[in-house]
Chain A
Amino acid sequence: MYSQGLNQAETDDTADATRAARFQARIDAEDKIEPNDWMPEAYRRTLIRQISQHAHSEIVGMLPEGNWITRAPSLRRKAALLAKVQDEGGHGLYLYAAAETLGATREELVDQLLAGRAKYSSIFNYPTLTWADIGAIGWLVDGAAIMNQIPLCRCSFGPYARAMIRVCKEESFHQRQGYEIMLTLCRGTPEQKAMAQDALDRWWWPCLMMFGPPDTESQHSDTSMKWKIKRFTNDGLRQKFIDATVPQGHFLGLTFPDPELRRDEATGHWSHGPIDWEEFKRVVAGGGFCAADRLAARRKAHEEGEWVREAAAAHAAKRAAKLAASKEAA
């Protein structure tokens, strides 16, 4: 038995090596990997982790912006914000569906989030204190999300890449809408302009942290690059974001909360001051300002919705039983 088992394992290993080589060749040829294709376990696990974290971020991200739906200052803004938060929920839905194609279930992924075992984007642990935060989130947070996600439209895993194409279209709409809120505030009363400046002061550094730790400390990058799950480094994407965003902020007449921010005439890039990575580590480790509130809100919704989900399941089972009985009788 033992030797048979061993032989079996050896055959598997050789077969796996061949399959792994073929898999990598497909990736190198920019072929899309589909759910039923063979893939290394580590590739599957990496994707489930990344896609589910992304889905959780969309869902938790509904909370800080949802905080302003009932206080939006005009009917047009109220409708636009509600539609935006609804889009984020839709993004969560496609992403959970993409993770499910890899053999994970939405229930287990959500359980991980509620148990505090899964991560989500650190940015959503910051509070939305004024209406200008809704503008700043659209402009900066959705803007940073686009920088991260545009390359994911070419991700080697087909369902993720396709979900990202749809998501990116909506994110760029959110980004323009957020910028337009900022523009309106900056052209408004002195109080409104101060509100916009305060929002930029609070959101700028946390947005730069959204791209993850500096390349010198990033753990997953190498394999993710090889598998074409990731195509740019954290620092590369962060730089792209800064270069795109700083002129937009100056156009608004706002000041970035970084005295060292300056344009390097030789490279054309904006160089920035040091990022507080200790704060980032604390937020990622669960010590974010709103982390406890965010998880509590998700848990409350889940627990209070349990009887509703049970009722829907019980009703569906009763209907199926009735249908089966009536077919039998006929």
Chain B
Amino acid sequence: MATTSVAVPDTPLIRLALARADDALVLGHRLSEWTGHAPTLEEDLALANIALDLIGQARSLYALAGEDCGLDEDALAYRRDERAYRNLLLVEQPNGDFARTIVRQFLYAAFIDAWWQAMTASCEPRLAAIAGKAEKETAYHLRHSAEWLIRLGDGTAESHRRAQAALDALFPFAAEMFEPVTAAAFDVAPASLREGWDRQVDAVLATAGLTRPAAPWSHSGGRAGRHTEHLGHLLSEMQYLQRVHPGATW
């Protein structure tokens, strides 16, 4: 039967590049949904900037994965199904209110910024090169989201309540970030960054006057393509033109 979907071989490099590319693309896509609807004009521009950085990172990573499997960035982004997407469940969660968006960004940025920093020393030079650029961008994403989280935690009773509710809702998705993606020598084991992440999150939450949720359980499955129901809707919107017009050039 004819299908517009592509099959991607599984090597450690492709697996790692796709997992990180999918994280960046899905989160960038989510942030881009704010464009024109943010709480202030300045935030409209800031969220679009972060989205652009993330989409740019995704493109570099898809290009890298593509070098090893002969598919271009658009085939990888637009022609894989939900079950083939490897992103973290955290990044596909809907924007919700501004507090949700900020908490999602903060939890992710506090991890990925440290990961990219560590990856600048990767023995795979193509990954190290991407890391060098990405790390500068994610440092800004972390600063931006931490500053907002502090404003929201400290600001008014309403903003505090919303920020705490967002933390409570999203914390169960945080542990998935520390699962191994590959055991390759060029990869940095996410678990090695856990302590630093805990310290950083605790420090920002303390300044913001927010409470770290106990998170009695955590969700996982994204790396195996078992997603929440949200991803399918995101992909059907994102992929529809490529799916309706197979083979067309845009």
Q: A residues near B, CB below 8 A?
A: 59, 62-63, 66, 69-79, 82-83, 85-86, 89-90, 92-93, 96, 131, 184, 188-189, 191-192, 297, 300-301, 304-315, 318
Contact of B156 among A70, A92, A188, A314 (CB under 8 A): A314
List CB contacts (< 8 Å) of B5-49 with chain A.
Answer: 25, 29, 32-33, 35-45, 48-49
List CB contacts (< 8 Å) of B133-192 with chain A.
Answer: 150-152, 154-156, 158-159, 162
Contact of A79 among B35, B39, B52 (CB under 8 A): B52
Please measure, in the bound complex, the distance between the C-alpha atom of A101 and the C-alpha atom of B248, giving whole angstroms: 49
- Chain A's nearest CB lies how many Å from the CB of B147? 10
Q: Which residue of B lies closest to A305 (CB)?
A: B39
Q: B40 contacts A191, CB within 8 Å?
A: no
Q: A79 contacts B159, CB within 8 Å?
A: no
Binds A, one of B73-81, B123-131, B219-227: B73-81
B51 at the interface (CB under 8 A from A): yes
Q: Which among B97, B156, B162 has the greatest number of chain A C-beta atoms within 10 A?
A: B156
Q: Which among A75, A79, A189 has the greatest number of chain B C-beta atoms within 10 A?
A: A75
Binds A, one of B84-92, B104-112, B197-205, B239-247: B239-247
Q: B58 contacts A71, CB within 8 Å?
A: no
Q: A70 contacts B237, CB within 8 Å?
A: yes
Q: Which residue of A lies closest to B99 (CB)?
A: A308
Q: A314 contacts B155, CB within 8 Å?
A: yes
List of A residues within 8 angstroms of B150 by Cβ: 315
A-B contact pairs, 19 of them (CB 8 A): A62-B44, A69-B32, A69-B35, A70-B237, A71-B241, A72-B241, A74-B74, A74-B78, A75-B73, A79-B52, A79-B55, A89-B41, A131-B241, A184-B250, A305-B39, A308-B39, A309-B40, A311-B158, A318-B154
Q: A70 contacts B40, CB within 8 Å?
A: no
Q: A308 contacts B248, CB within 8 Å?
A: no
Please measure, in the bound complex, the distance between the C-alpha atom of A301 and the C-alpha atom of B237, giving whole angstroms: 22
B56 at the interface (CB under 8 A from A): yes
Please measure, in the bound complex, the distance between the C-alpha atom of A192 and the C-alpha atom of B150, giving whole angstroms: 48
List of A residues within 8 angstroms of B55 by Cβ: 75, 78-79, 82
A-B contact count (CB 8 A): 140
List of B residues within 8 angstroms of A59 by Cβ: 36, 41
List of A residues within 8 angstroms of B151 by Cβ: 311-312, 315
Q: B159 contacts A307, CB within 8 Å?
A: yes
Q: B35 contacts A82, CB within 8 Å?
A: yes
A301 and B238 contact, Cβ closer than 8 Å, known pairs A75-B55, A75-B59, A310-B156: no
- Chain A's nearest CB lies how many Å from the CB of B235? 11
List of B residues within 8 angstroms of A85 by Cβ: 35-36, 48
Q: B154 contacts A315, CB within 8 Å?
A: yes
Q: B37 contacts A77, CB within 8 Å?
A: no
A86 and B59 contact, Cβ closer than 8 Å, known pairs A188-B248, A305-B39: no
List of B residues within 8 angstroms of A73 by Cβ: 78, 241-242, 245, 248, 250
Q: A184 contacts B238, CB within 8 Å?
A: no
Q: A308 contacts B98, CB within 8 Å?
A: yes
Q: B155 contacts A79, CB within 8 Å?
A: no
Q: Which residue of B lies closest to A307 (CB)?
A: B158
A310 and B32 contact, Cβ closer than 8 Å, known pairs A71-B237, A93-B45: no
Contact of A189 among B49, B154, B245 (CB under 8 A): B245
B62 at the interface (CB under 8 A from A): yes
List of A residues within 8 angstroms of B32 by Cβ: 69-70, 78, 82
B3 at the interface (CB under 8 A from A): no
Contact of B52 among A82, A188, A318 (CB under 8 A): A82
Contact of A308 among B35, B41, B74, B152 (CB under 8 A): B152
Q: B250 contacts A77, CB within 8 Å?
A: yes
- Chain B's nearest CB lies how many Å from the CB of A312? 5
Please measure, in the bound complex, the distance between the C-alpha atom of A72 and the C-alpha atom of B237, giving whole angstroms: 9
Q: Which residue of B lies closest to A187 (CB)?
A: B249
Q: Which residue of B lies closest to A96 (CB)?
A: B41
Please measure, in the bound complex, the distance between the C-alpha atom of A321 and the C-alpha atom of B52, giving whole angstroms: 36
